[in-house]
Each structure stands twice: as C-alpha cells, then as structure tokens.
C-alpha cells in the first residue's frame, strides 16, 4: 500500500532492481540506488492482478486502461493531506465523547448532609 498516492491503480516494476513499487517515491525510500528510467514499463493491475507492458514513448489515450480488465489506471493521484478529526460516531447520535463541565445551580447535597429541619427536633 502506497502512502504517497492513495488511489494507485497499478504497481510498477523498476527496471534497475526488478522489484515492484507503487510509485517512484516508494522506490527512493526503500532502495539506495536511483531509479533507472526506461521507456518500456511493466505494470501489475491491482484490480485483476495481471501484468502487462506499455511503451511510454508511444503512449496513447487507449493505453490508459488495463488490457485485461479495462481498469482506468491513469487518473489524478490523491495524495494524503494532514487533517485533525475526532474518530468517533456522530456526536448528534452518540454524545459519550463530550464532557459537560457545567455544574448545577446551588450547592450539591448528599444524603449525609444534615438539613436545617433536622436540627429542629423536639
């Protein structure tokens, strides 16, 4: 799973070390050598799990699809963005995550507090 491109549709086999990567940044992080660039690229479709080759020097619009399952793999990449959110249910449905720091008006009383009426016996 690629952490750089969230919607990667294919894996690319690098021509230098012949290992599979989702993007060039993944290759750069995991390997100590630079990525060797080549016009012939080997892909593995993540939908049908089949491999195919494409010539990047003659790349046409019809080459944007997997030849086995017609999965469109040339799409705009979605990169992760930092966000701050609460991982819970909707607070309108379940408000257990929220704490109410307000106190009730007046003094809190317990069963052990003597009342003024208890002193008036007799």
The pLDDT score that the predictor gives to residue 98 is 60
Helix residue spans in the chain (DSSP H): 24-30
Domain ranges of the chain: 10-72
Predicted TM-score (pTM) of this structure: 0.54
The pLDDT score that the predictor gives to residue 116 is 62
pLDDT tens column, 66-96: 888 888 877 776 777 777 666 666 656 665 6
Residues 118, 98: Cα–Cα separation, whole Å:
39
pLDDT tens column, 24-44: 888 888 889 988 888 888 989
Give the β-pairing of 51-55 and 10-13: unpaired
């Amino acid at each position: 799973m690629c952490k750089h491109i969230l919607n990667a549709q294919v894996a690319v086999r690098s021509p230098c070390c012949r290992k599979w990567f989702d993007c060039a940044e993944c290759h750069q992080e995991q390997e100590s050598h630079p990525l060797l660039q080549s016009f012939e690229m080997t892909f593995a479709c993540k939908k049908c799990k089949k491999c195919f080759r494409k010539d990047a020097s003659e790349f046409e619009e019809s080459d944007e699809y997997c030849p086995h399952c017609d999965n469109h793999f040339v799409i705009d990449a979605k990169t992760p963005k930092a966000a701050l959110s609460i991982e819970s249910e909707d607070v309108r449905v379940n408000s257990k995550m929220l704490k109410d720091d307000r106190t009730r008006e007046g003094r809190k009383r317990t069963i052990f507090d003597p009342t003024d009426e208890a002193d008036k016996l007799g």
